[in-house]
Amino acid sequence: MINEKSVNVAKQDAGPLELKNVSDFLRHQKSAVAAPNIVTGQLNSTSHPWAMGGNFGIDQCLKNQDPPPGCWVDGETVHGDIYIKTQNWGTYTRPIFAYLKYVNTYTYPSGASQQYTTTQTVGLTETFTTEVKASYSVGANIDIVNVGSSIETGFSKSSSWSQQTTQSWTTTLQGPATFYIYQVALVYAHCATTAGKSCASSFKYQRTRVINDWRTDLYYLSAISKNDMVILSKPLIPLSWEQVQQYVLIDNWNTWYFDYSAYSDPFRRY
């Protein structure tokens, strides 16, 4: 996933880190520290597959009859403001993971087909927003992170990044059978520059990186719902939001990275 190449970045007070090559970047990543009282688990990055190619890769991993509970997602890094606590923070964002959220189980004894309606969620997942102990919001233009990564949520940009809402979802099921219904959630990694001292305590799972005496960067994950429902003939054990954060942000911190050159690229800023 990592290619040895130079990274040219502009010098800004709250801008990108001065990372000249991959070895510098890896030292930066490994120096970050985990939130207190979090025990490192035993999972490793090979526990779930990588989805390449945006929507196509995610579909290949999760929309089949024997999917894993989640998969890594490769994608572009973008830079723009995210509001946390009392102000906007210049933040790097990239897609990093996708997983299946449990929705419902339905048993249909008849051999005929039948219309089935359930509820799907739209926007920032409630498991994410209820865990953040501060005001949190992001503008719809952050969706360039999905455009650049060939990902579509299936919802409007504004609703995708707003507080969670629900809507009905209908499909046709052919019995007799028991159906296990899940919805795909997309996970994003964020680096909020200079926000560490002020906002780290607002996130249960987070990492911080001290850049200098006045700058500490904050790393955390968020999740939004995707308009993709997966119907399985046998159940899987879904990942909880806490398990996703533990796996991606804590246990496998050195598996992925941000492309900090997004700061200087007008096509990856919002």
**116-149 pLDDT, tens digit each:** 999 999 999 999 999 999 999 999 999 999 999 9
Regarding predicted confidence, which is higher, 22 or 151?
Answer: 151
Tokens standing for 181? Answer: 């219904």
Q: Look up residue 80 and give its two tokens.
A: 């723009």
H/E stretch holding 56 reads helix 55-62
Q: Give the Cβ contact number of residue 178 at 10 Å.
A: 14
Evaluated on CA atoms 207, 245, 184, 133, the torsion sign reads negative
255 touches 94 (CB < 8 A):
no
Q: Encode pLDDT of 34-88 as tens digits.
A: 333 333 333 345 578 888 889 999 999 999 999 999 999 999 999 999 999 999 9
Average pLDDT, the chain: 86
Extract the runs of DSSP E, i.e. beta strands, from 126-255. 136-138, 165-174, 177-192, 207-212, 215-232
Domains of the chain: which residue ranges?
A: 22-38+49-265
Per-residue confidence (pLDDT) for residue 46, from 0 to 100: 53
